């Protein structure tokens, strides 16, 4: 084997050094979050049935759970009886007014009572109907907080649903990059084990700065003034909540710098 000349050795070393000095594409570290949809009862109650489990996919208006409805059933029965009595009283007084044996004042009072009992009956039926909860969105069951037989306080969520369109990527960029970003811009999203064609569309750019992100990823980012960016992925099913990701921004052409009058002089 012919030995390499000194010039060849220097040439190889130069190429190695040149390759090592080439700047790698700038990426920003971020993570995946989601805007969950919480489903829970208006009034306290005990869960009777739970039709879904964590991880299930549900369609909009699909039944999710039901709560005990004994009190609400009783309210409907009571309101129905009151409405029937009010209706009978109104009908009787209406006939008396037509024959001249009743007064218009009594008829007006009976009509007001009838309207009130009708409203109470409608409210009781609504409260009864709301003891059965259906899915308000298409999505997946992300969390289950209560099980059948457990008491749920009023306003507490029983389930957390994740619609695919509510998944988002969050990351921070230094203020110098803000002019290169706009709502609707496409960015590249990379993560371990993910496909190479993942992209996202910028949906939010913070108007206020933060001196440090919630999670410090590197010392060089620590002292920078940064702004929060959110983007909606094109393939949300490929990402998971809490997953770390790398973001590569699409470079934009910057307008040429205007020359000063002194520079334009010959």
Instruction: Encode 38-75: b = buried (16+ Cβ within 10 Å), e = exposed.
Output: ebbbeeebebeebebeeeeebeeeeebbbbebeebeeb
Nearest to 235 by CA among 199, 260, 190: 199
Q: pLDDT-based confidence at 167, cuts 50/70/90?
A: very high
Please give the share of the chain, as a percent, with pLDDT higher than 70: 80
pLDDT tens digits along 150-159: 999 999 999 9
> DSSP alpha helices (H): ranges in 100-178?
104-129
pLDDT at 139: 95
- Sheet of strand 151-152, all strands in order from the earlier edge strand to the far edge: 132-134, 63-67, 45-50, 151-152
pLDDT tens digits for range 55-80: 999 999 999 999 999 999 999 999 99
Torsion of CA 47, 53, 57, 61, to 10 degrees: -10
Tell me how many degrees the CA angle 24-239-190 measures, rounded to the nearest 5: 10
**Confidence check: pLDDT of 95 > 50:** yes
* Structural domains in the chain, sorted by start: 28-35+164-249 (2.40.30.170), 46-161 (1.10.287.470)
- Contact (CB, 8 A) for 249 and 177: yes
Report the pLDDT averaged over residues 123-129: 97
């Amino acid at each position: 084997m012919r030995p390499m000349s000194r010039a060849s050795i220097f040439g190889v070393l130069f190429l190695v050094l040149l390759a090592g000095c080439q700047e790698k594409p700038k990426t920003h570290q971020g993570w995946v979050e989601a805007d969950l949809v919480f489903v829970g009862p208006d009034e306290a109650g005990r869960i009777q049935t739970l039709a879904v489990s964590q991880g299930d996919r549900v369609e909009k208006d699909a039944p999710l759970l039901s709560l005990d409805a004994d009190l609400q059933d009783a309210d409907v029965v009571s309101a129905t009886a009151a409405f029937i009595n009010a209706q009978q009283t109104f009908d009787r007084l209406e006939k008396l007014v037509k024959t001249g044996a009743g007064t218009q004042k009594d008829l007006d009072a009976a009509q007001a009572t009838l309207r009130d009992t009708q409203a109470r009956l409608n409210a009781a039926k609504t409260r009864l109907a709301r003891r059965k909860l259906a899915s308000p969105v298409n999505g997946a069951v992300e969390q289950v907080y209560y099980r059948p037989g457990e008491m749920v306080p009023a306003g507490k969520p029983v389930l957390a649903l994740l619609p695919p369109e509510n998944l988002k990527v969050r990351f921070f960029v230094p203020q110098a990059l803000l002019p290169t970003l706009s709502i609707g811009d496409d960015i590249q999203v990379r993560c371990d084990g993910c496909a190479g064609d993942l992209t996202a569309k910028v949906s939010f750019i913070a108007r206020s700065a933060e001196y440090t992100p919630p999670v410090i990823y590197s010392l060089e980012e620590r002292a920078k003034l940064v702004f929060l960016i959110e983007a909606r992925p094109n393939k949300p099913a490929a990402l998971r909540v809490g997953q770390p990701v790398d973001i590569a921004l699409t470079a934009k052409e910057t307008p040429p710098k205007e020359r000063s009058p002194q520079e334009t002089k010959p």
